[in-house]
Chains A and B, each alone.
Chain A
Amino acid sequence: MFDILKMSISALLAHKMRTVLTTLGITIGVFTVGAITAIIEGLNSSFESQISMMGSDVFYISKGSWFGGYESWINARKRKPVDVDLADYISENAINVSATSPMVNRHRTLKYKDKSIESVEVTGVNHLMPMIEGTEIDAGRFFSESECRHRKNVVVIGENIRKEFFPDTNPVGEKIYISGHRFMVIGLFEKKGKMLFNDMDNRVQVPYLTFSKLFQRRNRGANIAVKSTSTAMLDDSKEEVRNLVRHYRHLKPSDEDDFAINQMNTLVDMYNRMTALLWAVAIGIGSISLVVGGIGVMNIMLVSVTERTREIGIRKSVGATRQKILFQFLFESMAVCSIGVISGLLLATGAAYIIHTFTPLAAKVPANWGILGAGVVVLVGLIFGMWPANRAARLDPIDALRFG
């Protein structure tokens, strides 16, 4: 068997250029599927499961829809901003709501001694936010209701901030500056990781009243995070809150909502739709180019069988059975395929590396690619090599010897 395999390979080496050109289709197919799976893999590793789990019972009231596209964004621009006091109004009046918090945010520069970090997401929230978001505090504590009410300059920092400012010291009790205002670090968030293009560890939270006082003179609007009593009650509480907001904003029954209720699930849905589309593209391009590539392989194998008719006659005259000739040509077509598959995988690995290096997306080569590639080799090689190989095996020895 090994000797037959060797024969196949030496036949391929005799026509290097032709072999490489033939495998181009397969190379492109494997590259496409490979590169797209690498991208999806990268997206998946960013979009950690905790994030997609997070907030399955949480929704956000905003001026506009997060995922509505350009038109709804234009629409939303004309609307009244969402008022931070709406949070209290909802928690006082809604039955199916366990907690609410305003969310106001800005990107600000943080300083500690001679170190500084630019463009950190500073969010003003109330004391209930960790409970709503399901965020753990690794060190220290979150701020209290009274600290919020008294507009205290206290801050809870994310993992990235700690790494930068306090690589080997306890951050709790230290003083940092946010846009020149002195804050005391009272707590440290657990590490959250990246969510899509957003680094969840590159943020700090402060009391929203402190935030309004220091960073937001003009009311530019807030989001309100609302946690329903349970995931099962989510739809009920959304409806209840919708009516409360309409009432709060004095909308007539005929008026449309001038606000939007958003959910992380929307993000998850969008993410799923996007990856499904990517998969469809991968499978579409992949299978088309594999079929095209397979036909190329079949064509080249037919040419090869014709060219080597005499060789086949010689082999039969010294005792090659039909099976052995069949195997020889099947191995050959699988070898052609494997050249295409290997170069496709190498290209895709290169692409994944480039994406990983030059974009925030952690594109990654899935470990099971080897198996996938081997599967493609066997499948395409066998399917498209069978006819030519069978033709070779069935040649009549005398006719074959007389050929050419």
Chain B
Amino acid sequence: MNILSIAIKEMKHDFRDRRTLLFMLGFPIVLMLILGLALTNAFSSEISVGDVKVAVKDATGGGPLSEAFAGFAKEVGKTGVTFEPLKPGANGREEVENNHVSGYVELTNQGISLYGSSRDAIESNIVQGMLASFTDKYNAAAAVARIEPAKTEMVLATGGSDYIRELSVDANRTPGSVDYYALAMTVMVGMWAAMGAGALIQGEVLRGTAVRLVIAPIRKSEIFVGKMLGGIISNLLCVMVIILFSKYVFKAYWGHHMGVVIAVLVSEVVMAMSLGLAGSYLLKGTASRGVISLVVQLMSFFGGAYFPILDDEGGGLMGFLVNLSPIRWANHGLTQVIYADNVSAAWPVLMLNIGFAALFLGVSILAMRRREGL
């Protein structure tokens, strides 16, 4: 009950702060519009996903993986994503870099590897998503094979129709820049929760009201949970407004797994809140707000909020920074969920977010326990 009334109070602060609210909602929407229009050319809007061509090199020398993959390629081929054997003497990675193909798959006895085109980020994601579901099924089949060899065919056979269903949804879908920014902005706003959380406790201290909360006959944990809950709900409402606005006003595409998308965003907001809170405990004083806001800005930048970050696994400082950004994880995972119907791509993101949230919360709770007052 105390938790609830503290959460409601927290939401009153959030929604009565017109200026911050306007910024939270207005900025991403305007940016979505401007970037979405200005950068249309950065997206392969002319090419439908149906034209995706992927080179394949089978180095297994036959065997179950080779066979299964052939079946998969055949099924998938009906929808326009074509897997062609790599021309003898050609280098698969160069083919991709020279934009002759959108991706390059290598089958070896160790498994499957994919080199995606760095230009067609979304096509690459789709191919990656399809391959991920293929490997899932292949692994399942292999596991079945070990126990009951006769049933292997069945697992793979049902698999085939799944790829087709998945692709028939997406094959003619052309992800445009508005779609990209709708997702990117939403993920960015989710991360902004960290900035609010940085001020969660400090705000009470500055207003002097921390005193009243601490002297009331309630537990510190109730204050803590109530404030977190209020902040999470407020931020999620902002995220929802941006999703709905982009969906119905800008007609952005959000795919068929809204529940999964929202679950990922919830986990992101919780993680962001925890990050901000831990930051405000560890970096005492008003400086912490500046630091947290800088970190969030950097995450947005490197995570692809303002321009698409390509699937450049090549490494380097940029690659390293890019992969540190939770915005990047979420963008990446959600692109697969939305465009490749690859729901399982949400799992790693959920796990990372929940894991980091638990870590940051743990740090905050330890810091809170040690303190006198809030």
B partners with A: no
Give me the interface of B with A, judged by CB distance under 8 Å.
Answer: none
Give me the interface of A with B, judged by CB distance under 8 Å.
Answer: none
